[in-house]
Chains A and B, each alone.
Chain A
Amino acid sequence: MKRIGKYLLFGVLFLWTAVAFGQDGTLTARSSRTTVGLNEQFRITFSTTERGGEIQPPAFENFLIVGGPFSSQQTQIINGSVNFQRELTYQLMPKEQGTFNIPPATLKSKNGTLKSNTLEIVVKAGAVREDPMAERAKDAFNVEILTSKKSVYVGEPLVLLLRAYWSKPLRNLNIVQTPNFEGVLQNQLDVQQRERREVIDGKNVTVLDFDKKLLTPTQPGTLGGQELKMSAQLQVRTGRADFWGMPEVTFIPQVATAKIPAVTIKPLPSPSPAGFSGAVGELKLERSLSRTEVSGNESITLKIRISGTGNFNTISVPELIAPQGFDVYDPKFNEKIDYTTSGVRGYKELEYLLVPQFKGNFILPEMRWNFFNTKTEKYEEIVLAEESLVVLSGAEAPASMSPTDGMTLQKREVKDIDSDIRYLQSVEDSGTNRGLLWKLIGVLGITTLLLWGLQGIKMGGKAPSLQAAMAKEKKQVLFAFEKGDADRFGLMLNTLENRLIARGMTKEGLQKSALIEAFGPDQGAQLHQLMELCQMAQYAPGAIRDDTQVLNEFKAIWEWI
């Protein structure tokens, strides 16, 4: 019974699931309004009965997303019928006038891919509703972009301050669209986001500076880009009173827009001078020394500083041309820069420590630095003159350099020269002409090369044929006999033995029997006799009276061997 009950329970659950989840999935899109005015907000909602999968919204190309996505889901059971639905909602605001289609959203689930319907939205300029409360909220919320200058040169920095102010209480302050600038380098600056009260156009307003940017134009023209848009919900009175007689309020959504300020970007005069550092502004270059006279165990602190108003974000302090005779340590970098709406002001500084190595007078070299002065609208060169550094004690190095006329020939004092320097040497003319020697080497080199060519040794060529090798060996024997060499019989014996070895016989096996076996009884015996004769002649040269007979016998044997 228990088992039957269990099966029944499973069966009921299966049927309920089939009813509950077996329905066909749908995905629909709907809009809170089909006709909207510019700067009015509306909602787009995508609904589905599918439990699985994620709703992929379309690209809202002509609209700004000012809120969302907000998701919700609900399950209803009415008369045993289960209905499930989930939704995804976006709050949008149109960017421009016209008629626009919002493409379908998609949902991928186990039942396949679902697509929603397309929505048509008409955006009109004058479609703003005649709402008295909206009228009250109008002009109560504003944004603006403040700029430090209206006209700058390429490379001259510009500070932008993004500000919002409102005269009625508000909530949900949001940046809908951040301005993006074209043709500039952007740096984000720190800003303290603190609300304060001010009077603007005779109205008491709350002001919030919420963003600060440093722009460095890289090309001439006019500053351009996308405008700033912010949304907020402003608190306005409905005109009604509540139960206790207190005025009733409501929140009206508002969007405020600020255009990019008109800033003219002027090009730098061309051509720029050689060595132009890229610095633009009202700048000064200074060099300061803690002292100019030191003893050997003291040090000098040297500072090079650029100060004033200018593009401190991109310029660097010119490096020190190190004076000779000092150890110069890696500099310490100091800076203090204020980014205000009146510009970028401050200084950048390199601080060097110079430690003298030797006693003597040394020159701190002249420094030149070019920049573009925005006040005079001209390139200017700052020259820091040479200075003399005197080291009063330390290791001996009597080197002196004129601080005022460093490029003229300045003779050094050479003390103790007579006792230290060695005297002149006698000049010997070896008479060798290296050029002639190289020519002789060249001539001899060519001669050697030619002689090598005449040797007949073929480098990398084919091995000589058997006939050619035999002819050469025979020729050498004949040549030795012709000259009457003492070793002619030895050469003949070696030649014969080498030939027999080349035929596959071993030197130890050159016996009469082996020769008869190889060449037959007559020729084998003849060959053996000649070899015996040669061997004997090596030890008793006088035993052979007639070389010609032996030579003829050799020639005959050589033909068939």
Chain B
Amino acid sequence: MPAAELSENKAGHRVDYTGAKMGMWIFILTEILLFGMLFLLYSIFRFRYSPEFHSSATEMDLFLGTANTAILLTSSLTMAISIEAIRKGNKGLSMLCQFLTLVFGAVFLVNKYMEWGAHISHGIYPHSPQMEQMGRGKIMFYSLYYVMTGLHGLHVILGVFVIAGMLVFTARGVVNRHDFVKIENTGLYWHFVDIVWIYLFPLFYLIA
């Protein structure tokens, strides 16, 4: 249903809650296609190099991967709670949970950094002399690993910054119980980033 004459928020900008959520969902659809194409590449190369993908997966750090999965899932929980809190006007709880989400995101990134670091120190990175000795299937596995977890990691970094911004907005009252669509949209983005990892995890760590 159209909302031709809209109310205005504190900054004088027109506010349309449904429209704002719609815009965010459409953005998420674009991200589905973005990652979807990389998953397509993954499925093509997995089809082509099935045994090498299996064996390469055994070289992944299952503990770190599982830990990261649990961390992101928990961060989605804290994100959801923070939105529920501000919806009820509980600014303190909301800010605490936003902060926890941020921390979980940061821990995820630290784990990723250590994982990548371990691989790189063993000489496994694109165009390394070691990589070029490995079979083609293995090279494709690791290239996909770096590109897909790298792009995902960039999205996590961006999400952490946005949540930090939301923390500031909540503190200042720009995000409040009457106008919290900004943080709801941030939540949508963050949950999406979580979903991408939910798929990345089995495809790189569990297909041994």
The reply to whether chain A is a binding partner of chain B is no
